A and B are shown apart, each in its own frame.
Chain A
Amino acid sequence: MGRGFWPWFLQRATAVLLLAFLGAHLWLEHFAAPGRVTTYRRVAARLAHPAFVALDWGLLALVVFHGLNGARTAVLDLGLSPAGERAVTWLAVVLGVGAFLLGVDALAPFLGMRAPIPW
């Protein structure tokens, strides 16, 4: 009993969080400092701050989970054998962890650069 609930619930929970993160992301990128142009330097400088990196990692985790879990759901709706279902789930897990680590890896170098918050 209960199988089926968690993926269903987390899909919705991540959707709600995505909305929040997306709002925060848009606000910080485009509205918090109106008039300023977004340059590589400014982004890099900002990413040196753990709070911003955490925000983006969180956003990434949510998108990856939500997207892959959604894709997994769509595939499972086709009606697979139990073995097929397990394979799809594991494939999603591997892809998800992989994608997340890639993202972590991409942003990690910025963390080392000590710089003031650029606004």
Chain B
Amino acid sequence: MDEISFRIFRFDPSRDAEARYQLYRIRPEPGLTVLSALVNLREEQDGSLAFRASCRSGICGSDAMLINGRARLACKTQVAEAAGDGTVTLEPLRGFPVLKDLVVDQSDFWEKLVRVKPWLIPGPEPAPERERLMRLPAQQFDELSRASDCIFCACCYAECPMEGRHRAYLGPAALVKAYRFEADPRDAGSAERRGALDHPDGVWRCHHVFRCTEACPKEIDAAWAIQQLQRRLAARHLRLKGDA
């Protein structure tokens, strides 16, 4: 392939008054991912370029960024595919404060996660000495297993129009996490999670734009999971009015 351009968002708060875009030129080999290209850039052309990365296989969730405007993992994006017109534009994830270049501050994201009590809350019966038996129909187990696939990359947050406008909204990742436990037959924590979920900034903020589902690099149907939570809560409201 011919040379292509990388147009990269640059901003170092300790030095720059405002952000700018910098152009780099690279000659990609077949199979080159955007992440490998960034690593090469950093080692060969510009060591001051900041981005996060670790596993390079789409499992650790470090390297989410906007690639040509869409939130994706750099390690799972082929340069050849992204460089349709010869240019790849890289920017930090939308909706998060920029720390430097492509690195954003995700503190807010982690705090929201904690609000849904993302841990198994077992019922009162004591756990058996061995494992709890778990017999779920294959499809239900699959759904549960999918929902537990989240790698916290925050692509869904960057793509969610509600999250973009409404800072306090729990957002898709935290809600998917909540669903993962709500749908787990071993969990009995619905009442404890209800305060966070059954709230204008909880499940009710979602308007089913499905951008989270589209953006998820692990193919989790986040919007569907949120709908499941809405349905569960709606059923509870309509049947048990007044127990709020």
Whether the complex brings A and B within 8 Å at their CB atoms is answered yes
Q: Size range of the interface on B?
A: 20 to 34
Give the shortest distance, in Å, between B244 (CB) and chain A (any CB). Answer: 4
Interface centre among A1, A3, A77, A78 (most CB of B within 10 A): A1
Closest residue of chain B to A3, judged by CB?
B200
Which B residues touch A5, using CB under 8 A?
198, 204, 233-234, 237
Given contacts A9-B234, A9-B237, A77-B205, contact A4 B166 (CB under 8 A): no
Closest residue of chain A to B162, judged by CB?
A77
- Across the interface, B244 reaches (CB within 8 A) one of A1, A9, A79, namely A1
Which A residues touch B132, using CB under 8 A?
none
Question: Residue B68 at the A interface, CB < 8 A?
Answer: no
- Across the interface, A8 reaches (CB within 8 A) one of B162, B195, B230, B238, namely B230
Identify which of residues 59-76 in chain A touch chain B, using a CB-to-CB cut-off of 8 Å: 73, 76
Expressed in whole angstroms, the Cα–Cα distance for A4 and B166 within the complex equals: 14
Question: Residue B60 at the A interface, CB < 8 A?
Answer: no
Q: Are B166 and A3 in contact (CB under 8 A)?
A: no
Q: Are B234 and A76 in contact (CB under 8 A)?
A: no
Question: Residue A2 at the B interface, CB < 8 A?
Answer: yes
Given contacts A9-B237, A77-B205, A79-B167, contact A1 B199 (CB under 8 A): yes
Bitwise interface map of A from 74 to 107 toward B, beta carbon under 8 Å scored 1, else 0: 0011110000000000000000000000000000
Bitwise interface map of B from 213 to 237 toward A, beta carbon under 8 Å scored 1, else 0: 0000000000000000010011001
Interface residues of A (CB under 8 A from B): 1-5, 7-9, 73, 76-79
Interface residues of B (CB under 8 A from A): 162, 165-168, 194-195, 198-205, 207, 230, 233-234, 237-238, 244
